[in-house]
Amino acid sequence: MGITGIKRLLLGRPLANAQASEEKIPKWKALAVLSSDALSSTAYATEEILIPLAAFGALALTWSVPVAFAIVSLMVIVTLSYRQTIQAYPNGGGAYVVANENLGPLAGLTAGAALLFGYLLTVAVSVAAGVGAVTSAFPEIAEHRVLLGGAFIAILTWLNLRGVRESATFFAYPTYVFIFSLLALIGFGAWRIASGDVPHAAPILEPVSEAVPLFLILRAFSSGCAALTGIEAISNGVPAFKHPSAQNARTTLVWMTLILGVMFLGITAVSHAYGITPQAAETSISQLARSVFGTGPWYYLIQVATALILILAANTSYNGLPWLAAVLARDRYLPRQLAVQGDRLVFSNSILWLSGASFILLALFGGDAHSLIPLYAVGVFLGFTLSQAGMVVHHRRERQPGWRTGLALNLLGAVTTGVVFLVVGVTKFQDGAWIVALVVPLIVALFRKIHLHYLCVGEELTLSHVDAPPHLAPMRHTAVVPVSGVHRGVIDALRYALSITDDVRAVYVEIDAAAADRMQKEWMRWGHDIPLVILKSPYRSVIGPLIEYLDDLEQTATREAITVIIPEFVTRVWWHNFLHNQTAFMIRAALLFRRGKVITSVRYHLRAG
């Protein structure tokens, strides 16, 4: 089986452009695919609130439920704001497109950089948190968490390369299992408290102490804002929805916020009532499930469902980042190949890039989700703020029906998310937010460098300034054929060289004197009066003497171009290539960036097995 056969076995048969509409997904699948990141945050957002509060003492834990209410209120504001964004920009791109069009290129690139870095962190955080859920139930494998994370990323990559529809179907069911299992956990836990079956450690609603420092409460709030990560994914992925895509996306966004708000508040309230506190070796969700259900089947169902949704939450990035990268690539801020869809109508290059970069990030932080989360929220809220500010300008400029309502919602969203951005940036700066402050400008600088390159290339290649079409006279060549011996492949290369010019020279690099003598004798028989130039190589290098000869020839040749014709053979089976040297490849690589050299390969296909 060849490479093409293996590719089709793993990824499936190629899809035609006409099948693109069939790859669109309905709302119930989109909720699972594009909301899994936001929904999965309920598995760790409550714990992120509890960690800074618990450090101050048990008294501070009384603030967990009020902080959760504040976060859910912010969640509603952001949702209402993004409904306006989806309606105004139904072609995807999210914060980048909105900020670029309304606030200018610098704001747009900043939003795009924040989103790209956020998507990268989403994969790393989600996989790390999912592995954490697994190791909470099976602590004996905790030392292998980076390796486990890499395996999960590889599986996600494979599924997404198979296409949007197939991956959506696969990811939908674990998402709904997680939703229903967590709702069952909240409901049964609350029922046990209400019925007196379990004495609660603290009332769900109780007066909060004023003795807790404000900065500590703000730290808890900024940590819990991880619950909002992923909300923007639906606005970025509107093109993935079935028609009418914009309306379906707006509806799905409301569904997601409703489910997310209920789950987040419920988990926080029941955890507070049960007296759950952060533990290094066990997640808060695991503690709560153990307290409510014991260690029976329901506990392990919760752990498996949590692990699956946390890992599959990374799929939000696999759906959101490729669309964003494609928009940036079309605007010439990223490599053009990121805008090209692969065989399965997905942006394969973006998927592979995301997987590789995420694994590197995961390995750098040792697979620890808590170390990655401080980097997470800063970029997310920067994107929120720029997007909502851009929408305010959009409403004022366009003044479409209902623009005043839209402007009020987006203005409220811009102010609140801007304040949260500052709070998160200040409270999490020493914990890693400084990395975002460093990385985002570097990404913006990279965008501008790429854009400048494309502008310069376009300016140099354009014919728009030429008054008349250039005269297409044939080019006169000097052909150089590097040879290592005399065989059928060399004869074919010489025949090709003679077909394009009468100035043909064969070049042999002498590494062994005896071999060079034999070569000269063979050439007298088979060379057909074509000059054979023998280059001395006392240090046994093939490439160096050849490059030096070509440079000298360029100074003395009377022809317009030097064409290097490389004879090479192609093995019948791909792995046979490893049994032969790669001199032809090295010659092409060495000549790639040298001006005035035309490189041509004449291939001889072997039939031997």
Domain CATH number, residue 147: 1.20.1740.10
Domain CATH number, residue 525: 3.40.50.620
CA distance 104 to 90: 20
Residue 293 has pLDDT above 70, yes or no: yes
Whether 182 and 321 map to the same domain: the answer is yes
- Highest mean pLDDT: which range of 107-121, 299-313, 337-351: 107-121
Least reliable range by pLDDT among 116-120, 143-147, 165-169, 380-384: 165-169
Say if 82 falls within a structural domain. Answer: yes
Domain with 494 in it = 477-605
Taking residue 446's Cβ as centre, other Cβ atoms within 10 Å add up to: 14
Q: The dihedral of CA 161, 310, 109, 413: what is its sign?
A: positive
- Give the pLDDT confidence score for residue 207 in this predicted structure: 52
Least reliable range by pLDDT among 144-153, 366-375, 523-532, 549-558: 366-375
Residue ranges of alpha helices (H) inside 89-213 are 94-103, 105-137, 145-161, 164-194
Residue 2, both tokens: 């060849």
- Give the pLDDT confidence score for residue 183 in this predicted structure: 92
- Give the pLDDT confidence score for residue 19 in this predicted structure: 60
* pLDDT tens sequence across 276-288: 887 777 778 888 8
Give how far Cα 417 sits from Cα of 222, 380, 411, 425, Å.
Answer: 11, 10, 10, 12
Residues 23 and 169: beta-carbon distance below 8 Å: no
Whether 365 and 513 map to the same domain: the answer is no
Residue 522 has pLDDT above 60, yes or no: yes
Residues 498 and 489: beta-carbon distance below 8 Å: no
Say if 468 falls within a structural domain. Answer: no
Residue 565 has pLDDT above 90, yes or no: yes
601: left (phi over 0), alpha (psi -120 to 50) or beta: beta
Say if 123 falls within a structural domain. Answer: yes
* Beta bridge mates, 569: 604
- Give the pLDDT confidence score for residue 419 in this predicted structure: 85
Residues 596 and 562: beta-carbon distance below 8 Å: yes
- Give the pLDDT confidence score for residue 164 in this predicted structure: 63
Please state the three-class secondary structure of 50-98 as a single string.
HHHHHHHCHHHHHHHHHHHHHHHHHHHHHHHHHHHHHHHCCCCCHHHHH
* pLDDT tens sequence across 406-444: 888 888 888 888 888 888 778 777 777 788 888 899 999
- Give the pLDDT confidence score for residue 4 in this predicted structure: 61
DSSP state of 498: H
Express as a percent the part of the chain with pLDDT over 90.
17
Question: Among residues 390, 420, 454, which one ends one of the domains?
Answer: 454
Residue 229 has pLDDT above 80, yes or no: no
Residue 175 has pLDDT above 80, yes or no: yes
Residue 591 has pLDDT above 80, yes or no: yes
Whether 439 and 534 map to the same domain: the answer is no
Average pLDDT, the chain: 82
Say if 20 falls within a structural domain. Answer: no
* pLDDT tens sequence across 144-172: 888 888 888 888 888 888 776 666 677 77
Residues 65 and 352: beta-carbon distance below 8 Å: no
* pLDDT tens sequence across 481-496: 999 888 888 999 999 9
- Give the pLDDT confidence score for residue 41 in this predicted structure: 81
Whether 367 and 414 map to the same domain: the answer is yes
Least reliable range by pLDDT among 122-126, 195-199, 570-574: 195-199
- Give the pLDDT confidence score for residue 369 in this predicted structure: 66
Say if 401 falls within a structural domain. Answer: yes
Whether 449 and 375 map to the same domain: the answer is yes
Could you tell me the pTM of the whole model?
A: 0.73
Q: The dihedral of CA 577, 581, 584, 590: what is its sign?
A: positive
Beta-sheet strand order (sheet of 477-482): 532-536, 504-510, 477-482, 561-570, 597-605
Whether 189 and 68 map to the same domain: the answer is yes
Q: The dihedral of CA 168, 170, 173, 175: what is its sign?
A: negative
CA distance 354 to 352: 5
Say if 460 falls within a structural domain. Answer: no
Mean pLDDT of 89-108: 85
Whether 517 and 376 map to the same domain: the answer is no
Residue ranges of alpha helices (H) inside 331-433 are 348-364, 369-398, 403-427
CA distance 282 to 288: 10
Say if 464 falls within a structural domain. Answer: no
Residue 210 has pLDDT above 60, yes or no: no
Residue 106 has pLDDT above 90, yes or no: yes
- Give the pLDDT confidence score for residue 200 in this predicted structure: 56
- Give the pLDDT confidence score for residue 452 in this predicted structure: 94
Q: The dihedral of CA 147, 149, 151, 157: what is its sign?
A: negative
DSSP state of 603: E
- Counted domains in the chain: 2
Q: Is 531 exposed, middle or buried (0-12, 13-18, 19+ CB in 10 A)?
A: exposed
Residues 115 and 347: beta-carbon distance below 8 Å: no
- Give the pLDDT confidence score for residue 261 in this predicted structure: 92
* Beta bridge mates, 567: 602
With tokens 């799929």, the residue in question is 315
Going by C-alpha positions, the residue among 585, 553, 580 that lies closest to residue 566 is 585
Say if 461 falls within a structural domain. Answer: no
Least reliable range by pLDDT among 3-7, 31-35, 85-89, 218-222: 3-7
- Give the pLDDT confidence score for residue 198 in this predicted structure: 65
Whether 443 and 495 map to the same domain: the answer is no
Whether 448 and 506 map to the same domain: the answer is no
- Give the pLDDT confidence score for residue 22 in this predicted structure: 59
CA distance 444 to 108: 9
Whether 432 and 485 map to the same domain: the answer is no
Whether 213 and 360 map to the same domain: the answer is yes
Pairing of strands 477-482, 597-605: unpaired
- Give the pLDDT confidence score for residue 170 in this predicted structure: 73
* pLDDT tens sequence across 442-479: 999 999 999 999 999 888 887 777 777 767 778 888 99
Whether 428 and 572 map to the same domain: the answer is no
